[in-house]
């Protein structure tokens, strides 16, 4: 029996029912253990330059999200100068390896280049025309090649249930969200269109405001197809709260995408460099607890979300070497399925076991 005096780990071991995760002789990747896509976000240049990382990406995952190369600041860094090279490369890579490509993200306050924000601030009519033109240009170009899009990313404030104050909201009001969805649907009627945000699993007020927005979009016949839970979550977030949050979202009838999954031990205030280093070393006890939490995530997704609404589970990077968590929050942590040497952690075997138990 594993011994621990940490209360969080104690709850995870004994309250959640940890099972021992061991390697399997089964050579199948994670994608072959699921009837919905299992995905990862990638930096394509970094992936192509590392043969082991490339091999793992293709073996384990059936869906790809570009970390940055499909965001506005990369596609249109300056006025009238579309840069398609990186995005085209991601599209080609996904097609060559028969992987679903998910587009992230058309409208995002942090992904809007400065020159666009400057124009939006002084000319709301320009903002409206530009929004339609940009979305139509991007989505039309990749029609039939990109399966779905985060149309609007992080529309809510970090905490609570209010819309985030952004250049888009200030210029166009809440209708910018409706407009973005209509433009995306017109450009590709077959694409699955998502509203995506973070902390929905652990902030009931934020979730309530988010779902109020979704309800209003549905009433207004806005072509929204799905809800994205980023799921950058923590070991101390109760599974009961996650389950309740997923159930509420699934009650909308929309697709549910766990779109940016990683799982940390330390805490932060959601701001850059806002990490709190509570854990300095990754112990065997922590590894087992993380495995149990990842395993339970699959069970929660299956329990809360009907089969026809499961769009998939996507990890925001699959190894601790490349995780965004450490440089962004300025903390040391171990949030992914593979370690810095690209070896599978207990977390990998826990998640895998969750898939095997829920599909077999």
Give the active site residues. Answer: 154, 260
CA 102, CA 302: separation in Å to the nearest integer? 21
> How long is the chain?
360
Cα-Cα end-to-end distance for the chain: 28
Q: Which tokens in the block code for residue 73?
A: 């600041």
Q: What angle do CA 164, 226, 128 make, to 5 degrees?
A: 50
Give me the residue label for tokens 């709850």: 11
DSSP letter (8 states) at residue 275: E
- HEC string of 87-101? HHHHHHHHHHCCCEE
Q: At what angle do helices 175-187 and 204-219 cross, to 10 degrees?
A: 60
Give me the residue label for tokens 């059936």: 62
Share in percent of the chain as helix, strand, coil (round to 5):
45, 20, 35
CA 317, CA 37: separation in Å to the nearest integer? 15
């Amino acid at each position: 029996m594993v011994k621990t005096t940490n209360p969080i780990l104690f709850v995870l071991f004994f309250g959640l029912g940890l099972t021992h995760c061991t390697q399997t002789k089964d050579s199948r990747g994670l994608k072959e253990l699921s009837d919905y896509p299992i995905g990862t976000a990638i930096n394509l240049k970094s992936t192509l330059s590392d043969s082991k990382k490339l091999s793992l990406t293709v073996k384990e995952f059936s869906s790809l999200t570009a970390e940055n190369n499909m965001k506005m600041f990369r596609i249109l860094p300056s006025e009238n100068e579309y840069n398609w090279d990186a995005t085209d490369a991601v599209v080609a890579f996904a097609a060559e390896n028969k992987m679903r490509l998910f587009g992230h993200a058309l409208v995002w306050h942090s992904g809007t280049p400065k020159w666009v924000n400057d124009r939006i601030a002084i000319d709301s009519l320009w903002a409206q025309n530009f929004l339609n033109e940009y979305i139509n240009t991007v989505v039309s170009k990749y029609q039939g090649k990109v399966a779905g899009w985060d149309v609007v990313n992080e529309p809510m404030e970090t905490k609570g249930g209010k819309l985030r104050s952004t250049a888009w909201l200030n210029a166009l009001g809440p209708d910018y969200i409706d407009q973005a969805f209509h433009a995306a649907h017109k450009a590709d009627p077959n694409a699955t269109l998502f509203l995506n945000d973070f902390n929905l699993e652990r902030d009931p007020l934020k979730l309530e405001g988010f779902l109020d927005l979704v309800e209003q979009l549905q009433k207004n016949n806005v072509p929204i197809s799905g809800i994205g839970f980023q799921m950058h979550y923590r070991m101390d977030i109760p599974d009961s709260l996650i389950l309740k949050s997923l159930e509420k979202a699934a009650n909308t009838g929309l697709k549910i995408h766990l779109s940016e999954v990683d799982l940390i031990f330390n805490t932060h205030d959601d701001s850059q460099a806002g990490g709190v280093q509570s854990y300095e070393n990754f112990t065997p006890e922590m590894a087992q607890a993380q495995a149990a939490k990842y395993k339970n995530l699959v069970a929660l997704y299956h329990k809360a979300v009907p089969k026809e609404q499961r769009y998939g589970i996507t990890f925001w990077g699959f190894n601790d070497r490349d995780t965004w968590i450490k440089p962004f929050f300025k903390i040391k942590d171990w949030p992914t399925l593979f370690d810095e040497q690209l070896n599978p952690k207990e977390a990998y075997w826990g998640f895998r076991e969750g898939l095997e138990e829920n599909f077999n």
